[in-house]
Amino acid sequence: MTNRTFTMIKPDAVENGHIGSILEKINSSGFKIIAMKFTKLSLEKAENFYEVHSDRPFFNELVTFMSRGPIVAAILEKNNAVEDFRLLIGSTNPSDAKEGTIRNLFATSMGENAVHGSDSDENAMIEGAFHFSNEEILS
C-alpha cells in the first residue's frame, strides 16, 4: 500500500468552485485517481473519521465544517504517495503553506484548508476503506 494515499476536497473548496482546479493539480503532479466519489459526510461520519482528534479543542468546529456540505473523496496512486501528496497540499495552516501548494492556492484558514491528505500509509489504508469498498477501487 505504500503507493496509495487518501484525499478529500473539503466543503470550503467545493463551495468555492475549486474541484476542477484541485483535480487538475492532482493529475498534473503525477497522481492517478483509482477511486473517487462526490458525497457528503453526516456529522456522525465526520466524528468517526476524525476520531483521533476528538480531544483537540477544534474538534467540534472541524466536524461541523466537514459535514456542512459535499466533499470529493478519492484514493490516489503514485510512488511515495503519502509523502508526495503532503508536499503537494502544503502546511495545515495556509499562511505557512508554500507557494503553489493546494492549500496556498485554495485554502481560506487553518480549519477550512481545502483538502485532506493522509499522514501515513496505515492511515491511508484505513481512510480509504472508510469511504470505498474494494469494488469501488479501480486500479
x-marked contacts with ligand IDP along 35-64 as a string, rule CB under 6 A: ------------------x----x--xx--
Going by C-alpha positions, the residue among 61, 74, 88, 53 that lies closest to residue 127 is 74
Residue 38 binding partner per list ligand IDP, Mg ion, none, with a CB distance cut-off of 5 to 8 Å that depends on partner kind: none
Going by C-alpha positions, the residue among 32, 38, 47 that lies closest to residue 9 is 38
DSSP state of 31: P
Residues within window 4-33 making contact with ligand IDP, judged by CB under 6 A? none
Contact criterion met (CB below 8 Å) for 98 and 89: no
x-marked contacts with ligand IDP along 60-99 as a string, rule CB under 6 A: -xx-----------------------------x-------
